[in-house]
Amino acid sequence: MAKKAELLKQAQEFNLEVTEKNTIVEIEAAIKQADSSDNKEEPKRAKAGKHSAKGAQEEEEKQAKIERQKNKEESDSEIEQEKVTTSVKQPRSLVERRGKKYRKSSEHIDKSKLYTFAEAIELALKTNPSSFNASVELHVRLGVDPRQADQNVRGTVSLPAGTGKDVRVAVFGDADDVKKAKTAGAEIAEGDELLQKLEKEDINFDVLISTPQMMAKLGKYARVLGPKGLMPNPKSGTVTKDVANAVKEAKAGKIEYRVDSYGIVNVNIGKTNFSVDDLQKNLDVIIGAIKTAKPASLKSSYVQTIYMTTTMGPSIKVAPNQI
């Protein structure tokens, strides 16, 4: 019993939960286990290098630094993305980017409505924001392919009320034709002297008329005249033997219409100082010519969209069934 009492006293020193009810073997096992736990040594580390205590501490600090840097980069990226998102503004509409007069004029136009030609003419005159005598323009998108020769819609018309513009006419011909052209009212009527002006790209005329026999000499200047729409052409009536009549027609209001590379006919029907009746007369002639010029080979819809406007005014959408 003395041995058991001694073992119990030793167990108390280790704060073991044993009593007299436990056997001597159990008490000895508990004491042995407690003693081995207290005497357990820390794992041995190297004196230097990454496996040493200092190396392990440095590695922990390095990993912590990498983690902090990563968190900072993610935070900066989120802040930058938020700045970009908040700084991007929605683009203003086309009307909002225009001047005050244009915006005020556009308030009279219902963009959801398709107007008749009569309504469009009156509205175009009403919404003209220009202080000068502007042109009244008609823009008709056709369902044609201008690359196809038989669908390249073009022609000439004489406007009953004229164009409202002083047309400067030049005539290239021989001595007799030059004399006739001057009598008919041409501003410029010359022979080889005109070629010298074209050589210098000195162009101060709106229409150029030539006789057929002189056209060979003009071929050299196609690169100068072509882009400006001034190259004489039999279809437009500017290549003719009767230069006097051609000058009178050009002065009276004869114009050429043709589709551009997008299939759109852009033509002026007069000026804002014209009366509504005069604009309507000119419009009727142009619309009639466009109808007549419809290609026989066209299978799709001929007229796609129609718009009317003044030089600097808002556009007015016209119902396509007007043509």
| Mean local confidence (pLDDT), 97-105 | 80
Say how far residue 190 (Cα) sits from the centre of its chain: 45
- Ramachandran angles phi, psi of 212, nearest 5°: -55, -40
| Mean local confidence (pLDDT), 231-251 | 88
Residue 179: pLDDT over 80 = yes
Residue 136: pLDDT over 90 = yes
Confidence band of 22 (pLDDT split at 50, 70, 90): confident
pTM equals: 0.62
| Mean local confidence (pLDDT), 78-104 | 70
Residues 6 or more apart whose CB falls under 8 angstroms from that of 262 comprise 141, 146
Residue 26: pLDDT over 80 = no
Q: What is the pLDDT of residue 235?
A: 81
* Highest-pLDDT range among 18-27, 83-92, 175-184: 175-184
Between the CA atoms of 239, 245, 246 and 248, what dihedral angle is there, to the nearest 10 degrees?
A: 170
323 class by beta-carbon count within 10 Å (0-12 exposed, 13-18 middle, 19+ buried): middle
Give me the domains of the chain, ranges plus CATH numbers: 2-33 (no CATH), 112-165+253-323 (3.30.190.20), 168-251 (3.40.50.790)
Q: What is the pLDDT of residue 221?
A: 87
Confidence band of 209 (pLDDT split at 50, 70, 90): very high
